[in-house]
Amino acid sequence: GGGEEDHVLKPYVYRCIKQELVGRTMQKGIYFPVALPPLPNMPTHSGLGEVAIFQIASIQMNSSEIPKNANGNISDFRIETCDSLSSLTILPEEQEHEETMPTAAIQMDSTTCPGYEALVKEVVSISQIEIHCASPTGVILTGCTGVGKTRLATAVIDELFISSSRQDLDRHESKILSSKEILLEASSSSTMDLGNLKRFVLSHVMSSKKGQRVLVIDDLDTVLGHDDETSSMDNEKRIAFHAITSIFDDLTYSGGEGTDRHRLPSFILGICCDESSTIPPTLARVGRFEKIVTMSPPTEKQRQDMLYDMLIDLNINIFDDTTKEQCSQRWSSAVAPHTAGCVAADLRRICVDAITRSKARSQRLKSATTSLLWEDIREATRACVPSQLAQLDVSLTRNFEKDVEIGLKKNKISPREKFFRTWAQFGGYQETKRRIFRTIVWPWERHHSDHADLGRPISSLEKEVPPPKGVLFYGPSGTGKTFAAECLAMSMGLNVVRVRASDVLDKWLGGSEAAIRSIFSRARAASPCILFFDELDSIATNREDDDGDSTDVHSRLLSTLLNEMDGVSSDRSKNDVLVVGTTNRLEAIDAALLRPGRFEAHIVLERPSINDIHEMMQIYLQKVPISNSVALHDTAELMYELEATAADVKGICSESCLHAIDHTDISTDEGVTLKGKNIDFAIRSWKR
């Protein structure tokens, strides 16, 4: 709310929360329902008349139980909100100061997870299965770092409580417990007794009430460990792991020693950053975490929903003819296509960076207003590198079109128009460009874009043709293969992860294979993106060429590359990583990589023709004053006879401009003009 409604609503909600907390034993992290009776003369969108869910984020009082004073009032403590997720801080009354609440401090409705509503409903439906033989005891939620797993778990808890009847709300309890706390307890104990550690875990969520109790174990991957780890924490990890699994065993085989069945959690949700293939079978089996739910990186539509949810709470600069909701919708729809590979944490980082730019501008201009401008969001988006691609060689392709950057143009640019506009800087090779669009770009757009944005209906036959898994550019040196891969990424609006042989090859046994697996894993976490292997023949050599000891290393490296492209160690249900390679020696690449399903699209770039060279020279010299005596077409014919490549054409154009500058008297009023003798000198120097 805002204005007079806000001044009435906040104190009323705080009183309701205080009345609910009086006499209750409080613990950090617990959730509790609060009934908000309706008030007269309050609008229906205020959230009153419903049940809201709040969480205690921290307690700064000596006692964990809130007492009443001598008069029976409840003025001995106060409440502060921590963030927009209905989190509360409990403080003594004497610490209270003037109220300086943020404008969006309390979220009156249940915590949501924008873009992942369907996944929330899926987990909720799993937890509500009442058939004893079919109800899972636990679910593992996996996903990359920053995708929003903890927030989704919070949304699941709120959905569970809100869907329950009002008389059952008091019997429901939940707790989000980090595995790091369990590991810290195991390492701090002198005896490291399994029973004591299990009681420590249960003490954070269990009470004497009989009802639904949900236990969320966050950071589960910290106690999993791997077989090759020999650190000093292995023993503590093992005990913490057994403490978690023993809780499942008590649930499955009721009547565990010293454990009351009704004091156990009725549903356990684990949160893990590891891929499903790395979770130990002893944990992901019947009777424990029986189901694994993957939280995939957000799609463009999901990123748009997240950005809208973040922008709507910010002080953005609103146009005269729009509302805040319309402006937030325009900005989010304009930014979402340029954030491929970003997760929720990255989108939040974009908003924080934009706010920082806005405040810095207001301080520089000594302005009292700090409203967020579109330029702040745009520049923050251009500078944001997906967190999963950090410390990798990443090329960002975020070119905002001036006519669509704020969503003012109703008719979006079609994929075909965008493709040829981007490839205009790649001179020549018109037939090759058309083939790239027909076999690579258009199938990708059909499978990864909304059909309403494609400009024409899609036939049933086109829907059955999947996009290629990999693209290989090959041809003589200097024909523009690397530049073609960059133009492909820009036309598709995808980030490029560049991989060289020096980034992969390692002196330790197994290090090269681990580097390949890590690169593919991070690329999948930041999908959609392009994984670009420059000089592919230096990594994936032909196994038939036996040249001694190095063959064994490259054979293992090739085997790992084949497995990753086939998806043996990952879920290939969504093909969101396009693998692109370049090579000068097609015969040096193993034949297993060149078959369909791997590098199936082969694009050859031969030496340019006369028309290709002529078009390249027009592009390179489009801003250079040229004498009327210069005939570019004749020069193109000469360079074609000399078998010049695209790199040679660019070098000759640069050398001719430098020669013209060196041999022109700049003291005169005449400007520097490119003459035929300058081009002839550059060609002679190149042939020499």
The one-letter amino acid code at 85 reads: L
CATH of domain 401-604: 3.40.50.300
3-class state of residue 316 by DSSP: strand
Predicted confidence at residue 573, as pLDDT, reads 46
Total count of residues recorded for the chain: 688
Fold classification of 300-384 is Helicase, Ruva Protein; domain 3 (1.10.8)
Predicted confidence at residue 488, as pLDDT, reads 92
* Distance set, CA 552 to CA 166, 509, 515, 545, 548 (Å): 67, 11, 17, 11, 8
610-687 shares the fold of 300-384: yes
pLDDT tens digits for 341-379? 888 999 999 998 998 888 888 888 887 777 888 888 988
Predicted confidence at residue 521, as pLDDT, reads 84
Structural domain spans, the chain:
1-85, 116-295, 300-384, 401-604, 610-687
pLDDT tens digits for 72-107? 344 445 555 543 334 455 554 443 333 333 333 323
Cis peptide before 33 (omega within 30 of 0): no
Q: What is the pTM of this model?
A: 0.69
Judge contact between 523 and 489, C-beta under 8 A: no
User: Helix %, strand %, coil % for the chain, to 5?
Assistant: 45, 15, 40
Chunked into runs of 10 residues, the chain (688 residues) has average pLDDT values of 51 71 63 66 54 67 46 47 46 41 34 84 81 71 88 85 57 74 71 67 58 78 60 67 76 50 65 77 80 87 90 81 84 87 90 89 80 88 86 73 46 77 90 92 79 65 81 92 91 87 84 89 85 88 65 81 73 70 90 88 93 92 86 90 91 91 70 85 84
Question: In CATH, what is the architecture of 610-687?
Answer: Orthogonal Bundle (1.10)
Question: In CATH, what is the architecture of 116-295?
Answer: 3-Layer(aba) Sandwich (3.40)
How far is Cα 338 from Cα 414, in angstroms, rounded to an integer? 16
Judge contact between 447 and 466, C-beta under 8 A: yes
How far is Cα 504 from Cα 627, in angstroms, rounded to an integer? 50
Cα angle: 510, vertex 513, 515; to 5 degrees: 110
Predicted confidence at residue 663, as pLDDT, reads 80
Predicted confidence at residue 104, as pLDDT, reads 34
